[in-house]
Amino acid sequence: MSDAIAGKQASVERVLRLGPVVAVVVVRELAHAVPLARALVAGGVKAVEVTLRTPVALDAIRAIAAEVEGVALGAGTLLAPRDFDAALAAGATFAVSPGSSPLLLDAADDSALPYLPGAATATEAMTLAERGYRWQKFFPAVPAGGVEYLKSLASPLPGIGFCATGGVSASATPAWLALPNVVAVGGSWLTPHDLVAAGNWPAIAALAREAAALR
C-alpha cells in the first residue's frame, strides 16, 4: 500500500468513527441542502454523504461546504473517474461508491479525496484490500446477505472494516454494529422524503439524535 492511500484511508477511518451512522442523503431541491445538513449536525450526525443522484447534488455539496460547520461532507454514488474531480471541486472531503472498477480505483489513486469503495463479496473485498483499501462500504448490505453474511467474513478477512449500507434500518443498526468488522452503517432513514419535502428540520434533527445514540 502506498503512503498516499494509507493516509487517505486513515482519513476515511476518522470519518467513520465520528458516529455509528453516516447519513446517506439524496437532495432533490437545492434549497433543502443547507437546512437539512444543519439539522443532521445539530442532532449529532456529523458524517453526511450527499449522493450524486440528482442534478443539484454537486451544487448541494458546494452549498453545504460553504455554509454548514462541523460536517464531514462526502460525495456518494461516484460512478466515473470524472466524479472525483467534480466532488473535490464542489467541496466534498471524502468519496463513496457503490462498487468499484479498475478505472475508478485508478482515479481514486490520483485524487486527493479519501475514498470508501463498495464491495459485496469476499472476492471484491480482497481485491480492494490488495489495492490498500482496508475500509470499505458493504453494499447493498441487506440484499447482499445481511448481518450473518458480513459476520462470516470477519474471521477470514480480519484486516478489513466495513460501513454497512443498503437496506439498513434504525432497529437493525445495533446488530450490525455488534459485528467486529463493522465500524459504522450508512443510513438513509434519517432523511425520509416526506420530512425533507415538508422542511421538517426539527423532526430530522430528532432522527439524527436517535441515530447518534445507537450502539
Q: Which of 137, 148, 151, 210 is catalytic?
A: 137
**8 given a catalytic annotation:** no
Amino acid (one-letter) located at 193: H
Q: Are the CB atoms for 186 and 22 separated by under 8 Å? A: yes
Within 116-200, where are the H helices? Answer: 122-130, 146-154, 173-177, 193-198
Longest distance between any two alpha carbons in the chain, whole Å: 47
User: Which one, of 138, 129, 74, lies nearest residue 105 by Cα?
Assistant: 129
Strands (E), the chain: 21-25, 47-51, 72-76, 94-96, 115-116, 118-119, 135-138, 161-165, 182-187
Q: If we measure between CA atoms, which residue out of 45, 52, 51 comes closest to residue 15?
A: 45
The residue from 29, 46, 49, 210 that is catalytic is: 49
- What is the DSSP secondary structure assignment for residue 8, as one 8-state letter? H
Nine cell digits for residue 82? 470524472
Would you name the residues annotated as active-site residues? 49, 137
